[in-house]
Amino acid sequence: MRLISTLLVLAVAADVRAQEVKRDIPYVEKGHERQVLDVYFPKDAKNLPVVFWIHGGGWQAGDKKDVQHKPKVFTEKGFVFVSINYRLLPAVDMGTIIRDVAKALRWTHDHIAEYGGDPKRIFVMGHSAGAQLAALICIDDRYLKAEKLSLDIIKGCVPVDGDTYDVPAIIATAEARWKAHGLPPAKFGHREKFGNDPVKHKDFSAVTHVAKGKGIPPFLLLYVAGHPDVTAQARRLGNVMKEAGLPVTLFGARETTHNKLNADLGLPDDPATKALFTFLDNALKQK
């Protein structure tokens, strides 16, 4: 029994050593305390594809530590995993948040080789609010151009259960629902979060900027099939991309919820995880 226990301890220790992590790396020199990221990487990593993860939380909350078992799963699969923080509403506006994401992606491109990652094979992913940010940064190339980057560095994009790829549509849907049910409007809803300006609502919508010839990467849109808003938004973005002749796959996960879909990513036998790794495998085969 003592020998078995010793072997188990050694096995666990070896597993821990296999994944290394560097936390709270500033991606802006002398920046805000939230302009930091964590890098998880396999020991002796070299030239591995990179997952760039953007947390959710309604653009008002959340943290880069909220990654469940994703770092372990991805590093075991041969990826370097980056999880970022960004400044939050209402301290900053939506444009500032998106620019923070672009700056974190710039740092990742410039420095990820130091951790064994390939700067030309980055997959951008995010959940909820992070899904909106992921989709927009991978479609509206102005943010990366401001950082002297192009969409060519992004190998694929996986927004997870976002409801704001078309901001005017979700505002109209939510407000119609309040009126129909005689409910008071949200004090800080999508209209206010995105600037309370119809022009900004459209500009912060990924669907607005879809066009062929920009280098937009392949997309996998994961969403809760039983939720009408995220289903409609995924289909809306998917249809716009298909009309532009761009590669996009939609996967509606059943018998799950907004938070569970995110938490289960990486678990064995999880259907959305299988769809995710099929997407990644196919994307990595493309030159």
Give me Rg for the CA atoms of the chain.
19
The answer to whether residue 246 scores a pLDDT higher than 80 is: yes
CA atoms within 13 A on the CB side of 193: 23
pLDDT digit string, tens, across residues 136-175: 999 999 999 999 999 999 999 999 999 999 999 999 999 9
Structural domains of the chain ordered from first start:
20-165+202-285 (3.40.50.1820)
The continuous run of DSSP H or E covering 158 comes out as: strand 154-160
CA distance 20 to 43: 6
Where do we find the tokens 């995880």? Answer: 273
Confidence grade of residue 19 (pLDDT, cut at 50, 70, 90): confident
Residues in CB range of 284: below 8 A, 6 or more apart = 49, 121, 155
Which pLDDT band, with edges at 50, 70 and 90, does 202 fall under?
Answer: very high
Q: Which amino acid is at 44?
A: D
Q: Dihedral sign for Cα 177, 198, 191, 201, please.
A: positive
pLDDT confidence bin for 13, thresholds 50/70/90: very low
pTM of the predicted model as reported, rounded to 2 decimal places: 0.93
Strand partners for 53: 83, 125
Question: How far apart are the two ends of the chain, measured CA to CA in Å?
Answer: 51
Q: Quick count: other Cβ atoms within 10 Å of Cβ 206? A: 30
Q: Which of 140, 163, 158 is nearest to 235 (CA)?
A: 163
Crossing angle of helices 228-243 and 167-181, in 10° steps, is 150
User: By three-state DSSP, how is residue 116 classified?
Assistant: coil
